[in-house]
Structure 1
Amino acid sequence: MSAQQNSPIASVSLTEPMDQLADKLGRSFEEYGFAIVADHGIDPALIERAEQMSKAFFELPEDAKRAYFVTGGGGARGYTPFKTEVAKGYEKKDLKEFWHIGRTLAAGHPLEAYMQPNVWPNEVEGFRETFEALFAAFDEAGRRILTAIAIHLDLAPDWFDATVKDGNSVMRLLHYPPIDNADGAVRAAPHGDINTITLLLGAEEAGLELLSRQGEWIPVQPPKNALAVNIGDMLSRLTNDRLRSTIHQVRNPTGEAALRSRYSMPFFLHFRPDFVIETLPGCINAAHPDQYPDSLTAHDFLAIRLKEIGLM
């Protein structure tokens, strides 16, 4: 186990009784916006295969990777080059490059216009099959976590099922190269996630931190193959900030760690593009009036945020 076992962030198993799981996750998400989730059902062999393929892609020559950059695509699919994304409110671009895989919809699907087709690299054999399987496994783990969240919010256990069915979720393969001259930039500047919930693999190496209510940076360092799960802005807005979308960062390492790459795989689980985000009545009371009286669709919310971080 990592040092995370001494953390105030909840560490849970998805095999726990649902009422117990809902209570632990809910309290951790309300206070910290994060939790560590083990026994999530994603095959360790699949994770290992995906990690190897991610590294193989990022080791390709720069011109080979850039061949998969989708001009005007907002970074939704394929490759996004090093120092492209910038955290909201920051000028220095993050020290990372990444690859995005989205949901594959059947031709003629009602939501087809909202989701670009996936791009697959020819250079890494088995890439598509591996990451389509991992996408589906992330999707299922996320659904189970949302069931626990629904119970915590006194909603029907399946309340979120329809809101995320065929949602615009994105799996990101992340590479933070060795740090040569940061010039004031960091691997991932302090930011909140846009989406509903994020499920992250590969955070066992030190560097990921969340900002507490007291203004302290708390390390988030799960055991290998466990998930770091956090609340995104869409769910925070839906719950009137009862569940917190917490500012977090990936700080630059020092010493020998700065000389090696860091890899991770976050799954940004999204609502359906046509889902209307409007504050849940159960999250509004005299002490907590509605902070978001104006509703908007998940697609419109995403478009606003992608512009803020430099991807559109």
Structure 2
Amino acid sequence: MPTSGLVESMEHHQVAVYIGAIAAGGLAGWAAPGAGPVLEHAINPVLAALLYVTFLQVPAAQLLRSLRAGRFLAAALAVNFVVVPLVVAAMFPFFPHDQAVRLGVLLVLLAPCVDYVIVFSGLAGANSRRLLAATPLLLIAQMVLLPLLLWLFLGSELADVVEPGPFLEAFLVLIVIPLALAWLTQGWAARRPAGGKVSDAMGTTMVPLMAATLFTVVASQVPKLHDSMGDVARVVPFYALFLLVMAFAGLAVARLFRLAPRDGRAMVFTGATRNSLVVLPLALALPDRLAIAAVVVVTQTLVEVVGMIVYVRVVPRLLPAD
């Protein structure tokens, strides 16, 4: 199969590709648990590459124009940093009392997704381009607000377990550098044909990079499940409940801000999908006694991918096109 045909096929069947990557990662982690520590070191590089390609899809000029889409951005910020914390606060008293488990759940539920939300929202007929243009703002906002939100939930406990260094490193490696490189590539593409070819070629790597990221994350964390299966099982109902509640909460926000149906669908997706891949390096940087937090974060990804398959079918019915 020619390369272009292979890329088109992967894009057309990307949900199946992602599920296959997760399954392969789980099998690899079970069959070769000794590779887990090595794969953990690969998470940041593959994730940075994925976010670079993601940002490359957003022209700098379009990003500036998107900042003038005030109602959409206000709704996205409201659903992610007002509604979501309130939903999490309502569930928080019922979370398992283990400190590491609580921290892992909070890390992942309080951070909005910026990667495969674009894919799944597009499959549901949402305005994924507008959502894609908002991703840098959502990333910056969550890195600024996440420490504050964690402090509000955990109080003095936070100072004992979370250091600012990993947060700053993740912000630099996963946001600042990929975003800067993406904009430099766009500038090169605008001035030179060679730059345009490189930009086009990088754009075709989105699905393979997402699959590689999911495989690496799952394969590196599965070996840790053996001693913590009970803790992981206890958080699954909360992740499922979150997806259920946010479907209707996102719909309410879309109606409150009087968004068009495609924008409203994007709002439902951004409120429901979480940033497990980006916050995972923060969880991995925690002390060894809190190592279970990383597994709790990865578990959310597994639940969410199943939930997104349901969302792709249900959300268009909740918000029919005009």
Q: TM-score, normalised by structure 2?
A: 0.26
**More helix as a share of residues:** 2
Larger relative strand fraction: 1
Higher RCO (CA-CA < 8 Å; seq separation 6+): 2
